[in-house]
Structure 1
Amino acid sequence: MRVLMVSPCYYPVKGGTETTVRNLAIALNKIHVQTDVMTFNINQNRNPKWQGKTEKIDGIIIYRIPALKWINSYRFTAGVNFIPSRFTNILKDYDIIHFHEFELSFPFFSALVKKPKIIHLHGINYNFLKRHHISRFLLKHLTHLYISISKQMTNELINLGLPYSKIVYLPNSVDTNLFKSGKRKEENMLLFVGRISQSKGLHILLKSLQYLKDSIRLTIIGPPDWDVNYYQNILKMIENENRKGKHEIKYLGVKEQIELVEWYQKASLFVLPSFIEGFPVTLLEALSCETPVIATPVGGIPEIIKNHKTGILIPTGDSTRLAEAIQYLLENKDIRLKMGREGRTLVTKHHSLEVAAKKLIMIYDRL
């Protein structure tokens, strides 16, 4: 079996979807399912490069095709952003085409090649698809199966008219051999990992610090999103909070996975006060390192965070409730450590790469 995964962005671009694609491709190759990747040739800021390139990383052949414009992987559009012939010629060498959140023009042109296809949805813009009939029509008719990463997403897909029989549930996974508990946790250290976008709620976390009784250290890791104004406001909030002198906040930008592990291992708590989510890999990474989580009940998060067992769920946009949850866990070390252990158990049992790869082969066998 030869599988081609098609993703708008890929390593070294870093994000939840990019990490998932890379991890799944590596895991499948380890169990002798040849899996390669096709992606756009773009830089870290998703700006296009006009030349194509083929390379091999982690034993995976990566086809980087020229992009004609800036990449926005969060919208379903029918706009063409590539030269179709370069795309379809590559598909012919593979048995299964596995799309990851692509512009729908890719499945559209892939119809020229009669191969089984899967669209793996890491997040959907439900309201957009509800309004745009052409995009919804293409989504419904250009693939054999859909992979949904959360139960909420499955319900949304059904509401959009997609047949339940074609929807397969496969939650995200994490490399539990890499992300594991390590050094002793540092006291009063908070960690945020994610794109610096309004939907991730970093501003809510920064606002919550004023309500904390204890001084904390907060480490922020992640790339800026397309909203430059939001990013600049976040930098100002960090500067203002540091100027007060009570808390210490560091923004480290983007880090490699091996560096991320060390930060997860050191952190007392991982905080992700998102407004919108799919099934965040960062939560799995934190729990796999036995770091308890404070998050909001959006997307697939309630499927990972069992309230007061592996973490605490707080209402979206509520900085005071977030501060209360942070203060509670900082003051109760035994509860915090127990939550971390429970989180590690949950992830190793249900969300390891080995579990995901076996499930994915079963999905491929349905085609």
Structure 2
Amino acid sequence: MKLLLVTQNYPPSRGGMAESCGRIVRNLKRKGCEIHVLHFSNWQKPYVIKTETGGNYSALGIYDTEEYTLNLATLFLEKKKEFLDVDAIIAFGGYLPMMWTPVISQFFEKPLYTCIRGNDFDEGLFSKKRNSLLYALEHSEAILSVCTEKQEKMAKLFPFKKVFYTPNGIDVVFWNLNDNEKKKVDERRKVLTDKKVILIAGQLKFKKGIRHFIESFDQFHFKSEYELWMIGDLPEEVKLFINNFDLNVKLFPFASKYEMRSFYAMADVVCIPSLYDGMPNVLLEAGASKKLIIASEVGGIPDVIMHRKSGLLYHPLEANALLDVLIHYHHLSEDQKELMKNEIYNTINQDFTEQKEIQNYLNLFPL
């Protein structure tokens, strides 16, 4: 099977979607697929081509306007015919691929498979991007959804389309620290804080629920016993907002997955306060690290966590819901916490592995 994958999110770009895209491409290649990647990226203009094992990679420049960017991308594709010697086109993440792929799939008579990865759908549906989103889905051979919530919504919008559930996967073994690593992590934790640690990681924007979390955490009666660690890209407006509160907060820059292994190990609990989301990598990483997770009941999070069995969920718009969950967590016994940690670990180890993730794609693209 030969595939052309078009994305705005691919290494060296940072973030969960780039991580997922790189992982899926790598594992499809290991299964025998030949994949050419077209990556809309500000890193290179006008374009750069690299020959890789199992296919080519090209970074396409992003310019001031969408029409200029996509016309040049079309010109590139018409010139580089080797990228079109494929059985299908996959759109994976980002507004530009969503606009471009349904047109080029018709121009070059290749079936289109559109991967919906969370914000592509949530932000596109209720914005000026809606027409591009709906046009892409309408002209797709099949739609691939990272969570059942969006799968159900898209099935209602397009009842005659095939909409498949293709959740993320993870290599659980990678997140298990050996005894020597655990010893070093314990030593570092003692240097950094003597409080319980609540960890939030990722793109720390207001749309990720940071405002609501800080406001709720500020009302938490036991907040002085905790330290909030925020790891990732933090906009200046969010920093200024946090400074208005008397909280124990440590800010860390974006961390690689190798660095995140230690951060998860040092945390007592991981919080994912998103207002809307797909299936965040942090969710699976924290669970694979045997961490108790507090998360909003949105997107693909309920696909993974069962409330009070494998984690703690709350509705992000329900008054005091997060505060109630924080209080509930505080009063849990260590045995109760261990039961939930083990349950989320077992769930991910059984149902959200890289092997199962890639098999979902292979079921759509038989070799």
User: TM-score range, shorter-chain basis?
Assistant: 0.7 to 0.9
Partner of 2:111: 116
Deviation of 1:16 (Å): 2.3
Are positions 1:217 and 2:221 aligned together? no
- Normalization by structure 2: what TM-score? 0.83
Alignment of 1:1-367 (within 5 A): 1-43=1-43, 49-55=44-50, 61-69=56-64, 80=70, 82-88=72-78, 89-101=81-93, 102-123=97-118, 124-125=121-122, 128=125, 134-135=131-132, 138-164=135-161, 166-180=162-176, 183=182, 188-210=196-218, 211-213=220-222, 214-224=224-234, 231-241=235-245, 244=246, 247-317=247-317, 320-331=320-331, 332-365=333-366
| Matched residues, number | 345
1:98-129, CA deviations, whole angstroms, 9 ceiling, x for partnerless residues? 21132322221232222332111112037736
Contact 1:297 1:314 in 2 (8 A): yes
Give the distance between the partners of 1:70 and 1:310, measured in 2 at CA. Answer: 46
- Normalization by structure 1: what TM-score? 0.83
**Greater displacement, 213-222 / 306-315:** 213-222
Of all paired residues, the percent bearing the same amino acid is 19
Contact 1:208 1:322 in 2 (8 A): yes
For residue 341 of structure 2, give the secondary structure of its aligned residue in structure 1.
Answer: helix
1:73-120, CA deviations, whole angstroms, 9 ceiling, x for partnerless residues? xxxx99936430213535313333221132322221232222332111
Give the distance between the partners of 1:54 and 1:38, measured in 2 at CA. Answer: 9
* Structure 1 pair 171–249 and aligned structure 2 pair: CA distance change class (3 A): same
For residue 14 of structure 1, give the secondary structure of its aligned residue in structure 2.
Answer: coil
Give the distance between the partners of 1:206 and 1:333, measured in 2 at CA. Answer: 25
Two-structure CA RMSD over aligned residues (Å): 3.0
* Structure 1 pair 91–268 and aligned structure 2 pair: CA distance change class (3 A): same
Give the distance between the partners of 2:36 and 2:124, measured in 1 at CA. Answer: 33
Deviation of 1:137 (Å): 5.4
Contact 1:23 1:174 in 2 (8 A): no
For residue 363 of structure 2, give the secondary structure of its aligned residue in structure 1.
Answer: helix
Considering fraction of residues, name the structure with more helix: 2
Deviation of 1:175 (Å): 2.6
Contact 1:264 1:286 in 2 (8 A): yes
* Structure 1 pair 34–127 and aligned structure 2 pair: CA distance change class (3 A): closer
Partner of 2:192: none
Contact 1:41 1:64 in 2 (8 A): yes
Give the distance between the partners of 2:299 and 2:87, measured in 1 at CA. Answer: 32
Give the distance between the partners of 1:81 and 1:251, measured in 2 at CA. Answer: 41
1:24-74, CA deviations, whole angstroms, 9 ceiling, x for partnerless residues? 11122223323342201324xxxxx42311236797642101222378xxx
Give the distance between the partners of 1:212 and 1:272, measured in 2 at CA. Answer: 20
Contact 2:114 2:137 in 1 (8 A): no
Tell me which amino acid in the other structure corresponds to 1:163: F
Instruction: In structure 2, list runs of 5 or more residues that go unmatched.
Output: 190-194
